[in-house]
Amino acid sequence: PSARPDLLVVGAGFFGLTVAERCATELGLRVVVIDRRSHLGGNAYSEVDPETGVEVHKYGAHLFHTSNEKVWEYVNRFTAFTDYKHRVFGKYQGQVYSLPMNLGLINQFFGKSHTPQEARELIAGQASEIATEDATNLEEKAVSLIGRPLYEAFIKGYTAKQWQTDPTELSADIITRLPVRYTFENRWFSDTHEGLPVDGYTAWLTRMAEHPNIEVRLETDFFAPGHDYSAETVKGTLPIVYTGPVDEYFDHREGRLSWRTVDLEESVEDVDDFQGTGVVNYNDQEVPFTRIIEFKHFHPERVKTHLPGKTVIVHEYSRFAEEGDEPYYPINTAEDRATLLRYRELAQAEPMVLFGGRLGTYQYLDMHMAIGSALSMFENRLRPHFGEGAPLTSGGIE
């Protein structure tokens, strides 16, 4: 067995690897990172399909974007980015529209050309039944922003499939990032920086862990007994950054936090190009899947390495996560929020353990947010602890 590390990180996703890399590089600490999966990278993990040469994101399509300069500078230490700009199309009643809501979609949907000013007036009229500041749920928020006709076509059916919950019972936050633009701009993200890692997510994540002071142990579950870093042996003896599910850490003693999962049905199709773009949403409620991803379109610059005549696609089906399913989207009902508060108290009192990442905080975090929050944990908790001896219990969940 190797010498005792200074820090144990549970989870080799973006959060855990950022913490490990910072502690090893900046403070010279010895860090062990464990993950129960057979690969590092967490949900951003991808691999090249051996038959077609296409990079497949194994836990759903991952598009990198950020307006956070610190994060952008940090991630560029490990990878270069392509100039890919994400665009999403939506199928509804036999037609294809360019999302998000923009002048092109509005003109096509209403069958008439509008100037930006005319479109604003049209949508303002349709959205006037409720003021955005009075909206208390997803349906009201959406109608207040885009009006009822567009809501019913592009949001209602898709959201029903994604959440299987009445949109009047869903939090308005879920669609906060769905913009309406009175121009023809159809980029999906509005961030300053956007692109895909030139040689893939796994190469990027592997480089983050390539420090002589970092050891990654895969297929090692923190809660399984009988290994050097099992919870029962190390709790209280070693500083720990834990990025697994917070309710699991406490043995679900305050109840289970609810999640949605996605069944990703991957197939190789015998056509060169299945849909002409990376992501097509299926907005009709009757179609059982929410969207189809065609991965080769994320990397047009790799065309020479892709096998002609074949393509890899994934149909996404969303459902409630049962025990054993991958937790993907926190549902965040009022009951979940109450449960989370109880776990936060427990987490704050847990000696020598910091909780982070999307599972450890029960928050939907984009990659740049997970990385940004790990950088903050390093600066605000870990550096003061290892550098100046500040206690590690303060703060709890980041």
Question: Contacting ligand UDP (CB under 6 A), which of 12, 143, 172, 175?
Answer: 175
β-strands 31-34, 214-217 pairing:
parallel
Within 10 A of 18 (CB to CB), how many other CB atoms are there? 26
Residue 366 among the catalytic residues: yes
Nearer to ligand UDP, 64 or 154 (CB): 154
To ligand FAD, the closest distance from the beta carbon of 221 in angstroms equals 4
| Alpha carbon distance 84, 296 (integer Å) | 12
281 binds, among ligand FAD, ligand UDP, none (CB under 5 to 8 A by kind): ligand UDP
Asked if 90 touches ligand UDP (CB under 6 A), the answer is: yes
C-beta closer to ligand FAD: residue 121 or 173: 173
| 36 catalytic residue (yes or no) | no
Respond yes or no: is residue 316 known to be catalytic: yes
177 a catalytic residue: yes
181 has catalytic annotation: yes
Nearer to ligand FAD, 221 or 284 (CB): 221
In the complex, the smallest distance separating the C-beta of residue 23 from ligand FAD, rounded to whole angstroms, is: 15
Site of interaction with ligand FAD (CB under 6 A): 10-16, 34-37, 42-44, 59-64, 221-223, 243-244, 262, 328, 357-359, 365-368, 370
> Residue with CB nearest ligand FAD?
42
Question: Does residue 99 contact residue 154 with C-beta atoms inside 8 Å?
Answer: yes
Decide: 331 and 258 in contact? Cβ < 8 Å: yes
* Gyration radius of the chain over CA positions: 23
Using alpha carbons, select from 196, 209, 164, 185 the residue that is nearest to residue 61. Answer: 196
- Check if 364 is active-site: yes
Query: Based on CB atoms, which residue is closest to ligand FAD, 210 or 219?
Result: 219
Q: Say which entry of ligand UDP, ligand FAD, none residue 159 contacts (CB below 5 to 8 A, set by partner kind).
A: ligand UDP
- Residue 357 interaction partner, one of ligand UDP, ligand FAD, none, beta carbon < 5-8 Å per kind: ligand FAD
Least gap, CB of 368 to ligand UDP (angstroms): 14
Q: Residue 176 CB, nearest distance to ligand FAD (Å)?
A: 15
Neighbouring residues of 300: CB distance < 8 A, sequence distance ≥ 6: 84
List, edge to edge, every strand of the sheet that includes 88-92: 95-98, 88-92, 279-282, 291-294, 311-320, 259-269, 329-330
Q: Does 106 bind ligand UDP (CB under 6 A)?
A: no
Dihedral of the alpha carbons of 98, 99, 103, 108, in degrees to the nearest 10: 50
Q: Which does 92 bind (CB under 5 to 8 A by kind): ligand UDP, ligand FAD, none?
A: none
- How many of the chain's residues bind ligand UDP (CB under 6 A)? 12
Q: Which of 4, 73, 166, 177 is catalytic?
A: 177
Interface with ligand UDP, residue 64, by CB under 6 A: no
CB-based contact 238:7 (threshold 8 Å) = yes
**Catalytic residue chosen out of the listed positions 260, 294, 343, 398:** 260
> Could you list the active site residues?
177, 181, 260, 291, 316, 364, 366
Interface with ligand UDP by CB under 6 A: which residues? 90, 99, 154-155, 158-159, 162, 174-175, 178, 281, 283
